[in-house]
Amino acid sequence: AQSVTQLDSQVPVFEEAPVELRCNYSSSVSVYLFWYVQYPNQGLQLLLKYLSGSTLVKGINGFEAEFNKSQTSFHLRKPSVHISDTAEYFCAVTGGSNYKLTFGKGTLLTVNP
């Protein structure tokens, strides 16, 4: 079984500031990791995913994440946020014979002017 912990339920930042959203996972098997974003009244959109290879993964809208196997983490970063980045961000994992996505509780990113 896998589990995901998103350490911050809310992260307020000012526009053009850098941001890091933290995600830790637990699994007894090799995992695949995902970050999704959900804008108000919408479904989830994939930002990026880690399958294998380079531990630094670049995604859409200027986001990137780094897979750290020893720390079982997959933190999401953006060097400079915009008002339009205000949304809820979900970290998710699959692995083993389990094709379902196991999600964290989400982090609400609020970008203030």
For residue 29, the minimal CB distance to another protein (Å) is 10
List interacting residues with another protein (CB under 8 A).
32, 34, 36, 41-46, 49, 51, 90, 92, 94-95, 98-106
> Are the CB atoms for 51 and 28 separated by under 8 Å?
no
Using the CB atoms, write b or e for 44-55: b if 16+ within 10 Å.
beebbbbeeeee
Task: Pick the closer one to another protein by CB: 73 or 102.
Answer: 102
Q: Which is nearer to another protein, 100 or 113 (CB)?
A: 100
